[in-house]
Structure 1
Amino acid sequence: MIDDDTLPGTERFDPRATHLVVLTGMSGGGKTVALRALEDLEFYCVDNLPPALLPQLVDAVGRGAGRRRRIAVGVDVRNRGADFTHLPTILSELAATGVQPHLIFLDCRNDVLLKRYSETRRRHPLATRGMSLADAIGKERRLLRPLMAIAEKVIDSSELNVHQLRRLVATGYAQATKGLTLMFQSFAFKRGLPLDSDFVFDARCLPNPHWQPRLRPLTGKDAPVREYLDNEPLVAEYLADTARWLDAWLPRFEQDDRSYVTIAIGCTGGRHRSVYLVEQLAARYRDHRESVLTFHRELD
C-alpha cells in the first residue's frame, strides 16, 4: 500500500500540457474505481483502449478545438500480446511530442484477488476453459510484470476498500485541477462516521422519506424522493444554511493552500436525506467550481 499523500507526477502537472494517465494492473485490483475517480476530476476517460490507439486518442481529444488536457485510459489483459510489448514505446513517442504520460499500476495480493472474485462471482478475463482462477491470476501477473517494472507508481490495493482507493486517487490528482476539489459524501450514522471527513453535517432532523412506504425502497437520487424533499420547507432551509456556511469558510481553506476538502452529510440510513443533500450541494458548486466529487457510502 502506498504511504504518501500524492500520486506520482502530480507535483509536475503543467496546466498548459496534455497529460495522459494510463491505468493498468491486476484484474480486480481497482482500475475501474481509479478511472471513475479521475472521471470525477474532469479527466476524459476511456476504458480498455488498445495501446496502439493512444496517439489517435490524444490527437482527437487533447489537440482539437475543444481540447481536453487531462486524459485517463484503462489498459488491461483484455488487450493482449503485442499491445503490452509496445506500450512503453508508444508512451515514449507521445512524450517526445510534448504529452506528459503517467503510468500507474494497480496491484493486489493473489489471496485478496481470489477472495474478491469469489465474493463477486465475476469471471477472470484469462480464465478460459480448463484454467483455474489461481492459474489465471498467475498468468496475468507474468504478462503484466514488464509494465509494473516501468510504472511511475505501484498502488497495492490489498488493504484498501473502494472508498479509500477512490479518495487516494482523487486526492492525488486534485492538484492537477484548478482550485479546491470538493468531495461531498453521504453516509449512515448507524454505521459510524467517515474517518476521512473534514466537515460533518447531521441531517437526521429533517423529514424522513423512509416513513413513506412508496419511497422507502428508493434513494435520494430517485425523482419521487427528490420531489418529496423539494417540497419540504425545512429541507430547503437546511440546504441554504449549509451552503451559506460553506461559502463563508471554503475560501479560507483555499487561502491555506488546501487542494481537497471532504464534506460528509449523514442521516439514519444513508439512503434518502443525506444522498439528496449531497447531490443538491454538488450540483450547486459544480456551477462555479471545476472539481466537485460525490460519493454515497451506503450506495456505492
Structure 2
Amino acid sequence: MRLILISGLSGSGKSVALRALEDAGYYCVDNLPATMLQEAVSIYATYGYEQIAISVDTRSSPSLGALPVEMQKLRERGIDVRLLFLESKTDTLVKRFSETRRRHPLSGSGLTVEECIRQEEELLASVQELGARIDTSELSANALRTWVNELVEADDNRLTVIFQSFGFKYGVPLDADFVFDVRCLPNPYYDKQLRPLTGQDAEIVAYFAQYPMVADLMSDIRQFLAKWLPAFRQDNRSYLTVAIGCTGGQHRSVFIAESLAKSFASEQVLLRHRQLYRDV
C-alpha cells in the first residue's frame, strides 16, 4: 500500500493537491486526525485500496504531535508513507482568503488572518520537515497538480534532487534548501530579440555559450553539489531542492537549472521553472 499525506498551511492548495491525487487513482480522505491513521489504513486495506491520500492539518491540531510516530509505525508495517507539505508566503495567503471570502480555520479565536497564519505556522513547524515541501506562492493550480504528481511518482528510496529556477523579483521560494544567485551573469533580457525567449530556447543557450564566466559558475555549483550530495543521502534525506535565481526567472536561472539537471542525470532529478509556470 502507498499512503500520501497532505499537510500544510490553510489556503496553500491542499485541496488542489488532494484532487490531483484523486484524479491519479488515489482514494482520498480530507482532514483525518493523525491518531486515526493506523485504524483508517487497516480499514481501507480490507477493502483492497492500494493507493490512499489523506489530508492531515491544523483542523485536527491536537493530534499533530503524534504524526511522526504514526508515520513510523505505518512504515514498520511495510506501507510506503510519504508526506507533501504545502506552504505559501503570508501576503499570498492573505490575498487568497480575501478573494475567496473564506474564514481561516483558526479565526474562531478572534485573530486576524495574519495572526492566524503565524499561529498555524507554529503549529505545523514540526510537520514541514517530515517530507517534501512545495511553495505554492505565484503557482497556478495546473502547475501544482503537475508538481504533486511528479513527487508522488519519484522513487522514495532514492534522494530526489529538485532543480528549481525562480525570479528574485517574486521572492525566494520557501521550499529551497540551497539558493544560488546567478544575477551576476550577462542578461539576454536587454537584447530585444532575445527578450521574449526563455532559457530553454536554443538562441539563449547559444548566447550563454559566448561567456566563459557562465561555464565557470556552473562548474562551481556542480562541484559544490557533487561534494555534499553524499552527506544528504547519509542523513536519509528524501528531497533536496536547489533553487537558482535571476531577476525575472526567465533566462539565466532557467538555463542554469536546465544545465545542472542534465549534469546530474545519474541522480533522481526533478526540474521546475517557477516563473514559467505562473500563467499555466
User: What is the match of residue 70 of structure 1?
Assistant: 51
Deviation of 1:118 after TM superposition, in Å, equals 0.8
Matches within 5 A, 1:107-186: 107-149=87-129, 151-173=130-152
Deviation of 1:172 after TM superposition, in Å, equals 3.6
Q: Render the CA deviation track for 1:7-30: whole Å, top value 9, x for unaligned.
A: xxxxxxxxxxx1111100000000
Matched, 1:56 2:56: no
Deviation of 1:128 after TM superposition, in Å, equals 1.9
Deviation of 1:146 after TM superposition, in Å, equals 0.4
Matched, 1:98 2:116: no
The one-letter code matched in structure 1 to 2:16 is V
Contact kept in structure 2, 1:23 and 1:72, CA below 8 Å: yes
Q: Find the aligned partners of 1:93 and 1:174 in 2 and give their Cα distance.
A: 23
Q: Find the aligned partners of 1:159 and 1:120 in 2 and give their Cα distance.
A: 16
Q: TM-score, normalised by structure 2?
A: 0.53
User: What SS does the aligned partner of 1:36 have?
Assistant: helix
**CA, structure 1 residues 137+91, in 2 after alignment: closer, same or farther (shift >3 Å)?**
same
Matches within 5 A, 1:256-295: none
**Stretches (4+) displaced over 3 A:** 171-176
The one-letter code matched in structure 2 to 1:104 is L
Q: Render the CA deviation track for 1:2-58: whole Å, top value 9, x for unaligned.
A: xxxxxxxxxxxxxxxx11111000000000000000001111110001111111111
The one-letter code matched in structure 2 to 1:160 is L
Deviation of 1:170 after TM superposition, in Å, equals 2.7
Q: TM-score, normalised by structure 1?
A: 0.50
Q: Render the CA deviation track for 1:154-189: whole Å, top value 9, x for unaligned.
A: 00000211121112223443569xxxxxxxxxxxxx
Matches within 5 A, 1:209-228: none
User: What SS does the aligned partner of 1:158 have?
Assistant: coil
User: What is the match of residue 277 of structure 1?
Assistant: none
User: What SS does the aligned partner of 1:78 have?
Assistant: helix
The runs of 5 or more residues in structure 1 that have no matched partner are 1-17, 177-296
Contact kept in structure 2, 1:41 and 1:174, CA below 8 Å: no
Larger radius of gyration: 1
The runs of 5 or more residues in structure 2 that have no matched partner are 156-278
Contact kept in structure 1, 2:31 and 2:57, CA below 8 Å: yes
Percent identity of paired positions between Structure 1 and Structure 2: 39
Matched, 1:43 2:23: no
User: What SS does the aligned partner of 2:139 have?
Assistant: coil
Deviation of 1:69 after TM superposition, in Å, equals 1.2
- How many aligned positions are there? 157
Q: Find the aligned partners of 2:154 and 2:134 in 1 and give their Cα distance.
A: 18
The one-letter code matched in structure 1 to 2:145 is R
**CA, structure 1 residues 124+47, in 2 after alignment: closer, same or farther (shift >3 Å)?**
same
The one-letter code matched in structure 1 to 2:149 is A
Matched, 1:79 2:74: no
**CA, structure 1 residues 58+130, in 2 after alignment: closer, same or farther (shift >3 Å)?**
closer
